[in-house]
Amino acid sequence: MARNIVKDGGFESQIIGDPIGVPWNYTGTTEAVSEGAKLEGNVAALLNDGASIRQTLRPL
């Protein structure tokens, strides 16, 4: 499971996978840091004809 970290003033990006065909699915964990508050949640991405990304954050 890959981790993506989102910080104020920028985005620390990470390659989460290379789609080799459709459909392509990804699930992982995202941590957001905003004004000292940390949130963490799971992210789910589905690549078919279009892209769909779903994410829910909860306070740490």
CA–CA distance from 44 to each of 9, 35, 41, 57 (Å)? 24, 25, 10, 12
Q: What is the pTM of this model?
A: 0.28
Strand segments, DSSP code E, in the chain are 3-7, 10-12, 24-34, 37-47, 51-59
Whether the pLDDT of residue 58 is over 50: the answer is yes
Q: What is the pLDDT of residue 47?
A: 59
Question: Domain residue spans in the chain?
Answer: 3-59
State pLDDT tens for residues 1-51: 455 555 544 444 444 555 555 555 666 677 766 666 666 766 666 656 555
State pLDDT tens for residues 24-36: 566 667 776 666 6
